[in-house]
Amino acid sequence: MDQGLEQVLAKLDAGRDAALDRLLAFLRIPSISTDPAHKSDVRDAAEWLRAQLDDLGFQTQIHDTPGHPMVVARSQPGQARPLLFYGHYDVQPVDPLNLWNSPPFEPRIEETPQGQVIRGRGAADDKGQLMTFVEAFRAWRDVHGELPSDLILLFEGEEESGSPSLQPFLREHAVDLRASLAMICDTSMYSDGRPAITTQLRGLVGQEVVIRGADRDLHSGSFGGLAANPIMILAQALATLKDDQGRVTLPGFYEGVQDLTDELRRDWDALGFDAEEFLSGVDLKTPIGETGRTPLEMVWNRPTCEINGIAGGYAGDGFKTVLPAEARAKVSFRLTGTQDPEKIRAAFQDHIRAHIPADCSVEFHDHGASPASVMDTSDPAFATAKDALGREWGREAAYIGAGGSIPIAGDFKQILGMDSMLIGFGRDDDRIHSPNEKYDVNSFTKGARSWARILTALR
Amino acid sequence: MDQGLEQVLAKLDAGRDAALDRLLAFLRIPSISTDPAHKSDVRDAAEWLRAQLDDLGFQTQIHDTPGHPMVVARSQPGQARPLLFYGHYDVQPVDPLNLWNSPPFEPRIEETPQGQVIRGRGAADDKGQLMTFVEAFRAWRDVHGELPSDLILLFEGEEESGSPSLQPFLREHAVDLRASLAMICDTSMYSDGRPAITTQLRGLVGQEVVIRGADRDLHSGSFGGLAANPIMILAQALATLKDDQGRVTLPGFYEGVQDLTDELRRDWDALGFDAEEFLSGVDLKTPIGETGRTPLEMVWNRPTCEINGIAGGYAGDGFKTVLPAEARAKVSFRLTGTQDPEKIRAAFQDHIRAHIPADCSVEFHDHGASPASVMDTSDPAFATAKDALGREWGREAAYIGAGGSIPIAGDFKQILGMDSMLIGFGRDDDRIHSPNEKYDVNSFTKGARSWARILTALR
């Protein structure tokens, strides 16, 4: 092993307790970004970070935004490939408070049957995670006498409240923030604790549709069988969005969808994903998806259409024989490959319109549209990071996908033109966004060691 | 013309103002049955009726029920065919009060461009209507010295609050109440003011269905494409309830549905029903129903299936990418002919179950089930009444249908084994259940004359 790396790892091990103390101090700041009462706490967390980073030798700035501040730090320029590290220092609200076993902002190290954990709001999401790379930088500096060069750090304080300032900020500071790759530490390991790099995220198109018939709710005795029923029209339009093979029927829908590469198929097969076990956690057992696709393909590599909400007529207690004036649904598409969100939106609208009889009207409300993020894993940094993770955790790291979207990855791609490497050390049982959030001490310490290895390999 | 009848009609004409005064007195009693604050007013209305009927020579009784009282009156027994007359003396609530142009319980005669009207709550529904036959009995008694024989009068005080006491009361008093035919005065004339007898009413089956998948709402990123979506399953199950000809697809659904007789088809064609005009009143124009059926057939003689309500997932403002744990719908079927409500309920449940994948469950909640009411118009009383109505109004009366149900007609059939003859003199613009309810003075006076003619022909 590289001698420098060996020293950095030893430094991290020796500094474990001090690093945990720093994290606990960070966690004591109740930086709840959605709650205006905590506005100054959010700034305190930004200031705390600035002090840490200044101390490490970063050039750090706090940028005000219409919401909470952005913290941007940079190491000395050099000849290395510029890397941007991202994390967020705000946390979720803590209610219901009575479900916490200890106060959310009095963090502590707890012994559990599964090992030591750091308990407190933000432990995993995202303060504990972002501190893994900060601690790696610290150990590096202690060993090498200076920080790795060409690093940009970006810490956001609004991630838990929808990141309203992020896109404008990225646009305004594009020149300063552009790197060759973004390292995002805000995800989990694969479910069984295997280290993983998330290399693809599904995109999303959201669309609300309202179908209107008569100008009022009608009596189904007087009009039933004669007047258009918007709920039936809606049901018929939605029902035909998928065929009996589970495939979306919109013309052109699968344009840009890629089959798995051999490498990804091998990696994913090796994960031994147990769909039945996964589904049993929510009281289901049978994957229902496209015929001929594996369960992991279904959630990570295949697009889908889901109805997220529907409403029309009288759905309260008892019964009212109304023939309703309108019916509405919220429908979303998860996208993969290079599917074009706006083309899919248009195809969906065409499909609905084709079901609308002369007497009815339809109204659409557009919600978010973002393409899938598929990272270019031929960038050697991916193989390098994968290898480094494998060495730290003693088992091969996997390239995995994610069924949801991580907007920041899309924003980096779209605004700054760079791919993201999503590496996180969270666990499925971290209870993020819930009472009793925790982060494994092991995730924290081996997470920092992982970054030390990755940095060494990339620098 | 029968000399007796001529005298009765003359008596009615001469007594017009006194009859209107009696009706106004009746209308001043705020007998709102749904409002506990008006409980004693409802009883006052029953007592007012008893006093009227006693005065006419009826044997009148007020029967207490768990709700509001039933008023039952009978004339002297004789050799004539026993007839039961039904009306209800309770009225709808009056809110929103500020939309009334005059106080709802200070009734008055108003001049309008369309003629004189009686304005006030209950004028048309149903105090004004039931007084048409009461006034006919009065004039008959005045002319003949005694009431027509073999009449039973039944006045209910809970019609506007769901008639909870009616069925038990009919069962308990079945022997006393059974007649050969029930005359119900609680309907309207055909829309253009043509006199009409409603000879068929559609039945109704109501069914709520709840489809459940996972034990909680899921994130559509993590589970979309893999886990069952109850809204989609529900949409697909509902969409296939009707084919592209507008026919219900349930096996056996059309068993018992009868095509129109030649007589009915002639009568209905002669009504000149203008579907476009009818629909334009609710901002629609095109009948959407079974291919090859006339609009009147669609609402009066063809069964249908309507979705009355649907709900699932997130349907509020904005967007949530949930894959919901459940979806629910309320579905009802309007029945005609001898369709069996319970068979149709079972066929519907089978249809839904066939769409439920292994992982999901379905729950049904049964709501009302009543067969269609199709009167036996070969009973000569129908032709007699039709003829009498035609003489009074100067235009041929029509046998018409109704798309909705009138529960009392079904109860009379089911519990007392008798058909109902539904003759009413309401108008489409009477604003029943709404502010500014009215009843045409013409409806009231010619209504009473109509009953005098019908009674004469039947006695």
All residues at 6 or more sequence positions from A113 whose CB lies less than 8 Å from its CB, including other chains = none
List the one residue out of B378, B182, B368, B342 whose CA is nearest residue B256: B342
Interchain proximity A227–B284, CB inside 8 Å: yes
Among candidates B208, B236, B282 on the partner chain, residue whose Cβ is nearest the Cβ of A215? B282
Last residue of a domain, one of B346, B370, B394: B370
Question: Which of B288, B293, B351 to probe the A interface (max A CBs under 10 A)?
Answer: B288
Q: Does B353 share its domain with B388?
A: no
Question: Which of B319, B352, B360 to probe the A interface (max A CBs under 10 A)?
Answer: B319
Report the pLDDT value the prediction gives residue A102, as an integer from 0 to 100: 96
Question: Which of B234, B285, B310 to probe the A interface (max A CBs under 10 A)?
Answer: B310
Q: Does B95 share its domain with B222?
A: no
> A21-32 in b/e burial notation, b at 16+ Cβ within 10 A?
ebbbebbbbbbb
Report the pLDDT value the prediction gives residue B186, as an integer from 0 to 100: 94
Report the pLDDT value the prediction gives residue A272, as an integer from 0 to 100: 92
Last residue of a domain, one of A350, A370, A390: A370
Interchain proximity B309–A231, CB inside 8 Å: yes
pLDDT bin (cut points 50, 70, 90) of residue A284 is very high
In a domain, B407, yes or no: yes
Output the CA–CA distances (angstroms, integers) from residue A273 to A237, A269, A303, B11, in the order listed.
Answer: 34, 7, 19, 91
Q: Are strands B373-374 and B196-201 parallel, antiparallel or unpaired?
A: antiparallel
**Signed CA dihedral, B333, B334, B336, B341: sign only:** positive
Using a CB-CB distance cutoff of 8 angstroms, which residues of chain A are in contact with residue B315? 309-311, 328-330
Among candidates A232, A234, A295 on the partner chain, residue whose Cβ is nearest the Cβ of B242? A232
The count of CB pairs under 8 A between chains A and B is 278
Among candidates A282, A307, A316 on the partner chain, residue whose Cβ is nearest the Cβ of B214? A282
In a domain, A243, yes or no: yes
Task: Give the span between the Cα atoms of A34 and A93, in whole angstroms.
Answer: 7
In degrees and rounded to multiples of 5, residue B276 shows phi and psi of: -60, -40
List alpha helices for B163-261, DSSP H.
Answer: 166-172, 174-177, 220-223, 230-239
Nearest CA distance, A12 vs chain B (angstrom):
34
In a domain, A298, yes or no: no
Give the mean model confidence (pLDDT) for residues A216-241. Answer: 94
Interchain proximity A309–B306, CB inside 8 Å: no
Query: pLDDT for A157-185, tens place per residue?
Result: 999 988 999 999 999 999 999 999 999 99
Interchain proximity A232–B226, CB inside 8 Å: no
Report the pLDDT value the prediction gives residue B264, as an integer from 0 to 100: 92
Strand order in the sheet with B304-313: A361-370, A203-212, A326-335, A304-313, B304-313, B326-335, B203-212, B361-370
Nearest CA distance, B415 vs chain A (angstrom):
23
Distance of CA B420 to the CA centre of its chain: 12
Task: Give the span between the Cα atoms of B276 and B287, in whole angstroms.
Answer: 8
Question: Which of A307, A320, A335 to probe the B interface (max B CBs under 10 A)?
Answer: A307
Q: Does B245 touch chain A (CB under 8 A)?
A: no
Task: Give the span between the Cα atoms of A308 and A314, in whole angstroms.
Answer: 19
Q: Are B260 and B301 in contact (CB under 8 A)?
A: yes
3-state class of A269 per DSSP? Answer: helix
Using a CB-CB distance cutoff of 8 angstroms, which residues of chain A are in contact with residue B307? 229, 231-232, 235, 312-313
Task: Give the span between the Cα atoms of B128 and B137, in whole angstroms.
Answer: 15
Among candidates A226, A285, A309 on the partner chain, residue whose Cβ is nearest the Cβ of B315? A309
- B359: CATH: 3.30.70.360
- Region for residue B337 given its phi and psi (left: phi exceeds 0; alpha: psi -120 to 50; beta: otherwise): left
Report the pLDDT value the prediction gives residue A263, as an integer from 0 to 100: 87
In a domain, A265, yes or no: no
In a domain, B292, yes or no: no
- Residue A229 pLDDT more than 90? yes
Q: Does B110 share its domain with B223?
A: no
Q: Does B417 share its domain with B395?
A: yes
Distance of CA A316 to the CA centre of its chain: 35
Chunk chain B into consecutive blocks of 10 residues (it has 459) and report each block's average pLDDT, rounded to whole numbers.
93 98 98 96 98 98 97 96 97 92 97 96 97 98 97 96 94 96 95 91 96 93 93 98 96 97 91 92 91 95 97 91 95 97 98 95 94 95 97 95 90 95 95 94 98 95
In degrees and rounded to multiples of 5, residue B85 shows phi and psi of: -105, 135
Q: Does A425 share its domain with A344?
A: no
Q: Give me the residues of B, 287-346, that contact A with CB < 8 A.
A: 287-290, 295, 298-299, 302-304, 306-316, 318-324, 327-330, 332, 334
∠ CA(A190), CA(A193), CA(A199), 5° rounding? Answer: 25
Interchain proximity A287–B226, CB inside 8 Å: yes
Give the mean model confidence (pLDDT) for residues A142-163. Answer: 96
Output the CA–CA distances (angstroms, integers) from residue B452 to A148, B118, B132, B295, B375, in the order listed.
Answer: 107, 21, 9, 34, 22
Q: Does B171 share its domain with B53?
A: yes
Interchain proximity A234–B235, CB inside 8 Å: yes
Using a CB-CB distance cutoff of 8 angstroms, which residues of chain B are in contact with residue A288? 226-228, 357, 359
3-state class of A330 per DSSP? Answer: strand
Report the pLDDT value the prediction gives residue A192, as an integer from 0 to 100: 79
Q: Give me the residues of B, 355-374, that contact A with CB < 8 A.
A: 357-359, 367-368
Q: Are A152 and A179 in contact (CB under 8 A)?
A: yes
Output the CA–CA distances (angstroms, integers) from residue A314 to A269, A317, A319, B55, in the order listed.
Answer: 47, 9, 7, 47
Using a CB-CB distance cutoff of 8 angstroms, which residues of chain A are in contact with residue B277? none
In a domain, A194, yes or no: yes
Interchain proximity B368–A319, CB inside 8 Å: yes
Interchain proximity A334–B225, CB inside 8 Å: yes
Output the CA–CA distances (angstroms, integers) from residue B330 to A320, B195, B206, B225, B341, in the order listed.
Answer: 9, 36, 7, 27, 16
Domain assignment of residue B171, given as a range: 3-201+372-458
Q: Does B65 share its domain with B150?
A: yes
Using a CB-CB distance cutoff of 8 angstroms, which residues of chain B are in contact with residue A213? 284
Q: Does A248 share its domain with A323?
A: yes
In a domain, B284, yes or no: no
Report the pLDDT value the prediction gives residue A406, as an integer from 0 to 100: 86
Dmax (CA) of chain A: 86
- DSSP track, A3-58: HHHHHHHHHHHHTHHHHHHHHHHHHTS--BTT-GGGHHHHHHHHHHHHHHHHHHT-
- Total number of domains constituting chain A: 2
Using a CB-CB distance cutoff of 8 angstroms, which residues of chain A are in contact with residue B401? none
Task: Give the span between the Cα atoms of B315 and A377, in whole angstroms.
Answer: 39
Q: Are B431 and B100 in contact (CB under 8 A)?
A: no
- Residue A193 pLDDT more than 90? no
Last residue of a domain, one of A320, A352, A370: A370
Interchain proximity B225–A322, CB inside 8 Å: no
Q: Does B43 share its domain with B123?
A: yes
Measure CA of the first residue to CA of the last residue in chain B; give whole Å.
Answer: 15
Query: pLDDT for A392-441, tens place per residue?
Result: 999 999 999 999 888 899 999 999 999 999 999 999 899 998 999 999 99
Q: Does A279 touch chain B (CB under 8 A)?
A: yes
> B354-384 in b/e burial notation, b at 16+ Cβ within 10 A?
ebbeebbebeeeebbbbbbbbbebeeebbeb
Q: Are A194 and A398 in contact (CB under 8 A)?
A: yes
∠ CA(A209), CA(B221), CA(A179), 5° rounding? Answer: 110
Among candidates B219, B298, B403 on the partner chain, residue whose Cβ is nearest the Cβ of A221? B403
Interchain proximity B221–A334, CB inside 8 Å: yes
Interchain proximity B319–A299, CB inside 8 Å: no
Interchain proximity A307–B312, CB inside 8 Å: yes
State the helix-helix crossing angle for B16-27 and B3-14, rounded to 10 degrees. 60
Task: Give the span between the Cα atoms of B447 and B201, in whole angstroms.
Answer: 22
Q: Does A249 touch chain B (CB under 8 A)?
A: no
Using a CB-CB distance cutoff of 8 angstroms, which residues of chain B are in contact with residue A308? 220, 231, 313-314, 319-324
Task: Give the span between the Cα atoms of B279 and A110, in whole angstroms.
Answer: 70
Q: Chain A: residue nearest B231 by CA?
A: A307
Among candidates B295, B322, B330 on the partner chain, residue whose Cβ is nearest the Cβ of A308? B322
Residue A381 tokens read as: 């940094």
3-state class of A92 per DSSP? Answer: coil
Q: Are A227 and B233 in contact (CB under 8 A)?
A: no
Q: How many residues are listed for chain A in this entry?
A: 459
List the one residue out of B450, B409, B400, B402 whose CA is nearest residue B197: B400
Among candidates B224, B311, B322 on the partner chain, residue whose Cβ is nearest the Cβ of A403? B224
Q: Does A243 touch chain B (CB under 8 A)?
A: no
Q: Does B316 share its domain with B437?
A: no
Q: Does B58 share its domain with B135?
A: yes
Report the pLDDT value the prediction gives residue B332, as an integer from 0 to 100: 96
Distance of CA A163 to the CA centre of its chain: 12
Using a CB-CB distance cutoff of 8 angstroms, which residues of chain B are in contact with residue A282? 214-216, 218, 223, 227
Report the pLDDT value the prediction gives residue B213, as an integer from 0 to 100: 95
- A399: CATH: 3.40.630.10
- Residue A1 pLDDT more than 80? no
Q: Does B245 share its domain with B138?
A: no
Report the pLDDT value the prediction gives residue B192, as an integer from 0 to 100: 79
Report the pLDDT value the prediction gives residue A421, as an integer from 0 to 100: 97
Using a CB-CB distance cutoff of 8 angstroms, which residues of chain A are in contact with residue B319? 206, 208, 308, 330, 332, 367-368
Report the pLDDT value the prediction gives residue B162, as an integer from 0 to 100: 87
In a domain, A247, yes or no: yes
Report the pLDDT value the prediction gives residue A428, as an integer from 0 to 100: 87
Q: Are strands A373-374 and A196-201 parallel, antiparallel or unpaired?
A: antiparallel
- The complex scores an ipTM of 0.89
List the one residue out of B385, B367, B365 whose CA is nearest residue B375: B385
Query: pLDDT for A366-394, tens place per residue?
Result: 998 899 999 999 999 999 999 999 999 99
Measure CA of the first residue to CA of the last residue in chain A; give whole Å.
Answer: 15
List the one residue out of B198, B202, B187, B213 whose CA is nearest residue B332: B202
Q: Does B275 touch chain A (CB under 8 A)?
A: yes
Interchain proximity A226–B314, CB inside 8 Å: no
List the one residue out of A241, A229, A211 whose CA is nearest residue A331: A241
Report the pLDDT value the prediction gives residue A164, as an integer from 0 to 100: 93
